């Protein structure tokens, strides 16, 4: 299927380089002083096409159970839809919006229930990296219809609706790297370790190699005011050697930091 982001062109030609905004065009290593760059499409990774079928595998690493979810973008009926109607009666010309989305969050929760996992008990991994629980599985917008309050909106034709649904799924998942062996998008869930034990385990691990670690609060999303946690590995000389993890959630940051520290000392 043609990529909805680049329309099959694979590369965006002559994109304005950020250096022009900061008057650094001549010294810019990215554009070589031209002020413009050719940018590969991030959705299809310059292939020009995205998959027609998306296969998701969910593994409970403790129990060995797994569940499979397959989405065929040529078949709209099996995909759960979420409909939200919002009215704007105080507008100059009162209207209502009917918003349709792919209800991925409900499908995700059903998978978790069958696997016996939840956000309180498990940590979610994708491509060996910890994600916020349910990340990637929000409700992905397809189309919004606008009409007068109380009137039925004029809807898209089935063909146009299917095209917009394909675009929504492609933008949500096509940029991810599939597991080449399983030919699927693979999500793994591991038992969540209590925070106190994580702190002790991380200290024991780094101190046994003569290192220490420190925690910092970082400023994240300026628009929402969210902040998060950064875990830094500190060398025996006292300098910050490596950023182990960075996450909005303290527990996820510690889990990711412990995994990163294990990898670091294994390769050292």
**pLDDT, tens digit (0-9, with 9 covering 90-100), for 1-36:** 788 788 888 888 878 777 766 655 666 777 777 778
Average pLDDT, the chain: 85
Rg (CA), the chain: 23
Residue-wise pLDDT tens digits, 76-127: 555 678 888 888 988 888 899 988 888 888 889 999 999 999 999 999 999 8
- Between 205 and 50, whose confidence is greater? 205
Report domain extents, the chain: 1-50, 53-190, 193-267
| Distance (Å, whole) CA 262 – CA 29 | 35
- Check residue 25 and give its pLDDT: 60
* Range scoring the smallest mean pLDDT among 12-21, 117-126, 184-193, 247-256: 12-21
Task: Name the pTM for this structure.
Answer: 0.75
> Beta-carbon neighbour count of residue 19 at 10 Å?
19
- Highest mean pLDDT of the ranges 118-127, 141-150, 214-223, 232-241: 118-127
User: Over 90: is that where the pLDDT of 51 sits?
Assistant: no
- Check residue 26 and give its pLDDT: 65
- Report residue 128's pLDDT band, with 50, 70 and 90 as the boundaries: confident
> Mean pLDDT across the stretch 222-230?
72
Residue-wise pLDDT tens digits, 137-157: 888 888 888 888 888 888 888
- Check residue 66 and give its pLDDT: 94
Three-state SS across the chain?
Answer: CECCCCCCCCEEEEEECHHHHHCCCCCCCCCCCCCEEEEECCCCCCCCECCCEEEEEEEECCCCCEEEEEEECCCCCCCCEEEEEEEECCCCCCEEEEEEEEEHHHHHHHHHHHHCCCCCCEEEEECCEEECCCCCCCEEEEEEEEECCCCCCCCCCHHHHHHHHHHHHHHHHCCCCCECCCCEEEEEEEECCCHHHHHHHHHHHHHCCCCEEEEEEEECCCCCCCEEEEEEEECCCCCEEEEEEEECCHHHHHHHHHHHHHHHHHHC
Which CATH fold would you assign to the domain 193-267?
A: Double Stranded RNA Binding Domain (3.30.160)
User: Over 60: is that where the pLDDT of 222 sits?
Assistant: no
């Amino acid at each position: 299927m043609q990529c909805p982001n680049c329309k099959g062109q694979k590369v965006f030609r002559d994109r304005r380089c950020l250096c022009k905004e900061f008057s650094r065009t001549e010294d810019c290593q990215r554009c070589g002083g031209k002020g413009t760059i050719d940018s590969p499409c991030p959705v299809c990774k310059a292939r020009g096409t995205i998959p027609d079928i998306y296969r998701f595998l969910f593994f409970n690493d403790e129990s060995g159970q797994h569940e499979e979810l397959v989405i065929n973008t040529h078949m709209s009926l099996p995909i759960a839809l979420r409909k939200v109607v919002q009215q704007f009666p105080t507008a100059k010309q009162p209207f209502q919006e009917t918003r349709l989305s792919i209800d991925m969050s409900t499908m995700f929760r059903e998978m978790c229930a069958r696997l016996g996992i939840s956000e309180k008990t498990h940590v979610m991994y994708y491509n060996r990296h910890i994600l916020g629980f349910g990340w990637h599985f929000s409700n992905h917008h397809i189309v919004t219809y606008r009409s007068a309050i109380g009137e039925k909106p004029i809807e898209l034709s089935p063909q146009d609706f299917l095209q917009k649904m394909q675009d929504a799924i492609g933008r949500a998942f096509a940029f991810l790297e599939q597991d080449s062996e399983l030919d699927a998008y693979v999500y793994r869930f591991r038992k969540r370790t209590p925070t106190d034990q994580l702190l002790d385990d991380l200290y024991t691990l780094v101190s046994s190699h003569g290192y220490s670690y420190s925690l910092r609060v970082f400023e994240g999303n300026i628009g929402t005011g969210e902040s998060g946690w950064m875990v830094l590995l500190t060398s025996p000389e006292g300098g910050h050697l490596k950023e182990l993890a960075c996450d909005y959630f303290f527990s996820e940051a510690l889990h990711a930091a412990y995994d990163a520290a294990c990898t670091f000392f294994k390769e050292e």
